[in-house]
Amino acid sequence: MARAIWSGAISLGLVHVPVQLYSATESREVRFHQFEKETGQRVRNRRVGEDTDEEVPWERIVKGYELAEGEFVIVTSEELESLAPAKSRTIKIEEFVDLADIDPIAWQQTYYLGPSDAVASAEPYALLHRAMVETKKVGIGRFVLRSKEHLATVRPIGRLLGLSTMYFADEIRSPETVETLPTGVSLSDKEVQMAAQLISALSAKFDLAKFKDTYREQVLDLIQKKARGKRIVAEPAPMEVRVIDLMSALKSSLESVGESP
């Protein structure tokens, strides 16, 4: 059974909905430790002084912010704590918006929100969930988690409410920062029609379970084989095929999915 990592209430004006926060995702990334190749001895990271090469204990470490190259401002833990947001057990909803108005680029981490009590908070929880479903609106609010204030989206996810922490606007880079924005491109109606036909042929109802982390599966398989003492021979990587003729590529793609160009 999952354990709640935060408990509090969703606040809408004078209405409070007691909830608990649960992790909705977990990383399945294969993690490795470091070893010295020749000796097999474990390699560990140490915090050492740049000039003395001596290990520095945690109690003597402070934070520094780089203003310019080689120029730092030192900030103590006490100074940072004085600026920390007040501890709060409230997810304060500031407004409701259409889900379609939120670009997914704004979302960071998603959690489940469950009623804090299966009986006492069940009615206000169910009421908020149903009202959001029927109005097709999601809540935007703020709350404090681990001493940091987060902007968040509260939305129905199945029978539960979900919460997704969000980036603030100034944390999202403009598309204009990409140097190779397409400009001066001329497309024929035929090319657009064939591309749309290809998209239509490849369209399906999204099912996340269909998509497997094949790299992680291969890494775990490699580890198991090496653990059994099996010799591993690396296969050469396939050569990259570069598309030169766009029309030919579209025709071949349509034919591969059983469509006539």
Q: What is the pLDDT of residues 96-135, one digit of tens each?
A: 999 999 999 999 999 999 998 877 788 999 999 999 999 9
Specify whether 129 is located in the same domain as 235.
no
- Residue 214 inside a domain? The answer is yes
Listed in sequence order, the residues at least 6 apart from 45 whose beta carbon sits closer than 8 Å to its beta carbon are none
- Residue 212 inside a domain? The answer is yes
Specify whether 211 is located in the same domain as 251.
yes
- Residue 73 inside a domain? The answer is no
- Residue 69 inside a domain? The answer is no
254 or 190, which is more confident?
Answer: 190
User: Which of 158-172, 173-187, 224-238 is most confident?
Assistant: 158-172
Specify whether 133 is located in the same domain as 194.
no
Specify whether 93 is located in the same domain as 157.
yes
Specify whether 142 is located in the same domain as 245.
no
Output the pTM of the full model: 0.78
- Residue 204 inside a domain? The answer is yes
Listed in sequence order, the residues at least 6 apart from 122 whose beta carbon sits closer than 8 Å to its beta carbon are 115
Q: Where is the domain boundary, 111, 140, 170?
A: 170
- Residue 235 inside a domain? The answer is yes
Specify whether 112 is located in the same domain as 139.
yes
- The span from the CA of 101 to the CA of 112, in Å, is 21
Domain limits at 201?
189-256
- Residue 195 inside a domain? The answer is yes
Specify whether 118 is located in the same domain as 161.
yes
Specify whether 147 is located in the same domain as 216.
no
DSSP string for residues in 126-155 = HHHHHHHHHHTEEEEEEEEETTEEEEEEEE
Strands (DSSP E) along 26-106, which ranges? 34-35, 42-43, 63-68, 71-75, 90-98
Our count of domains for the chain comes to: 2
User: Which of 113-122, 124-133, 216-225, 228-237 is most confident?
Assistant: 124-133
- Residue 43 inside a domain? The answer is no
- The span from the CA of 94 to the CA of 115, in Å, is 20
